[in-house]
Copies of this chain bind each other. A is one copy, B any other.
Amino acid sequence: MENWLKKRVLLSPNKIAIQAGNTKLTFKEVSDRVAVLTARLANKSRKGMRVALLTNNTIDGYLMILSLQQLGCEIVFLNKRLSHEELQYQLEDAAVSLLIYDESLLHEEFVGIESLTFNQIESLEESRDFQLVSEFNDDEVTTIMYTSGTTGKPKGVQQSFKNHFYSAISSALNLGLTDKDNWLCAVPIFHISGLSIIMRGLIYGMTVTLMDKFDAEKVTFLLKESSVSTMSVVPTMLQQLLEIFPQEGYNSNFRCFLLGGGPIDKVTLEQCQQRNIPVIQSYGMTETASQVIALNFEDAENKIGSVGKTLFSVELKLAHDGEVLLKAPNITPGYLNNPEKNQEVFENGWFKTGDIGYLDEDGFLYLKGRKGDMIISGGENIFPHEVEESYLKLTGVKDIVVAGITDKKWGQVPVAFVILERKLSQQELISYGREHLAHYKVPVRFYQVMSYPQTASGKVKRRELIQIKEYQKNLIK
The chain A residues found within 8 Å of chain B, CB to CB, are 1-2, 7, 10-11, 13, 135, 169, 172-173, 176-179, 203-205, 309-310, 312-315, 362-363
Contact = CB atoms under 8 A, between A and B. Distances in A.
A308 to B, nearest CB: 10
A190 B49 CA distance: 49
Given A10-B363, A173-B203, A309-B10, A315 B135 contact: yes
A381 B116 CA distance: 55
20 contacts: A1-B313, A2-B312, A2-B314, A2-B315, A7-B312, A10-B310, A10-B363, A11-B312, A13-B362, A135-B315, A172-B173, A172-B177, A173-B204, A173-B205, A176-B176, A176-B177, A177-B177, A178-B178, A203-B312, A205-B312
Copy number of this protein in the oligomer? 2
Nearest to A179: B176
Given A2-B315, A135-B315, A315-B135, A309 B173 contact: no
A379 B315 CA distance: 58
A11 B309 contact: yes
Contacts of A7: 312
Contacts of A363: 10
Contacts of A309: 10-11
Contacts of A11: 309, 312
A313 B169 CA distance: 12
Nearest to A174: B11
Contact of A313 (B2, B13, B205): B2
Contacts of A314: 2
Nearest to A169: B169
Contacts of A313: 1-2
Nearest to A363: B10
Nearest to A181: B176
A177 B315 CA distance: 22
Nearest to A328: B2
A135 B13 CA distance: 38
Contacts of A13: 362
Contacts of A204: 173
Contacts of A173: 172, 177, 203-205
A466 B292 CA distance: 59
A463 B276 CA distance: 63
Contacts of A203: 173, 312
Nearest to A311: B11
Given A172-B173, A172-B177, A173-B205, 15 more contacts: A2-B313, A2-B314, A2-B315, A10-B310, A10-B363, A11-B309, A135-B315, A173-B177, A173-B203, A176-B176, A176-B179, A177-B177, A177-B178, A178-B178, A205-B312
Contacts of A10: 309-310, 363
Contacts of A315: 2, 135
A139 to B, nearest CB: 14
A48 to B, nearest CB: 22
A338 to B, nearest CB: 28
A203 B170 CA distance: 10
A140 B178 CA distance: 32
A253 B312 CA distance: 25
Pick the most buried of A11, A173, A309, A312: most chain B CB atoms within 10 A of its CB. Answer: A312
